[in-house]
């Protein structure tokens, strides 16, 4: 697979992170709504911890979503740049280093290594959404069985 095509494929995969982020946002908003309702009805410490965990997971997922979205944009931009890939890579590395978004020692990495790192972020984002869903569903499934 050519380097340009690989960049486009990775960018396309990373854009799927937006769907995961939307799902997590729904979970987080549901958690906040239930938390507000819980405060109006009665304060239950265990429920507060549960909802706090859901919101915290949602916030951590937002961090990963922003990083994945940035990588998706960068991969897309580099993949469609008319300049030769080494020249584009050098310009990107210089910009990232000057903005403090990348340590200088990571400049010049091969795109295969960058792709693996970006996809690793996407997998972490997916894992956070799955954990958030499990934290949301397990008490809903367990509590009715306890009564």
Other C-beta atoms closer than 10 Å to the C-beta of 4 total 14
Residue count of the chain = 147
What confidence tier does 144 reach under pLDDT thresholds 50, 70, 90? low
Q: How high is the pLDDT of residue 74?
A: 92
Provide the whole-model pTM.
0.83
What residue ranges do the domains of the chain occupy?
Answer: 3-137
Q: What is the pLDDT of residues 88-140, one digit of tens each?
A: 999 999 999 999 989 999 999 999 999 999 999 999 999 999 999 999 888 77
Q: What is the pLDDT of residues 66-86, one digit of tens each?
A: 999 999 999 999 988 888 999
Quote the CA–CA distance of 39 and 81 in Å, as a whole number: 53
DSSP type of residue 110: -
Contact (Cβ atoms closer than 8 angstroms) between residue 97 and residue 107:
yes
Other C-beta atoms closer than 10 Å to the C-beta of 58 total 23
Quote the CA–CA distance of 135 and 146 in Å, as a whole number: 17
Of 63 and 42, the structure prediction assigns the larger pLDDT to 63
């Amino acid at each position: 697979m050519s380097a340009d095509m690989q960049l486009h494929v990775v960018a396309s995969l990373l854009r799927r992170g937006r769907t995961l982020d939307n799902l997590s946002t729904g979970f987080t908003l549901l958690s906040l709504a239930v938390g507000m309702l819980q405060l109006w009805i009665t304060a239950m410490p265990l429920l507060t911890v549960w909802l706090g965990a859901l919101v915290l997971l949602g916030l951590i997922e937002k961090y990963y979503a922003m990083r994945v979205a940035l990588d998706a944009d960068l991969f897309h931009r580099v993949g469609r740049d008319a300049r030769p890939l080494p020249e584009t890579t050098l310009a990107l590395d210089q910009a990232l280093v000057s903005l403090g978004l990348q340590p200088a020692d990571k400049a010049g990495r091969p795109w295969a290594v960058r792709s693996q790192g970006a996809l690793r972020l996407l997998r972490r984002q997916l894992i956070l959404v799955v954990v958030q869903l499990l934290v949301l569903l397990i008490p809903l499934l367990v509590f009715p069985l306890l009564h």
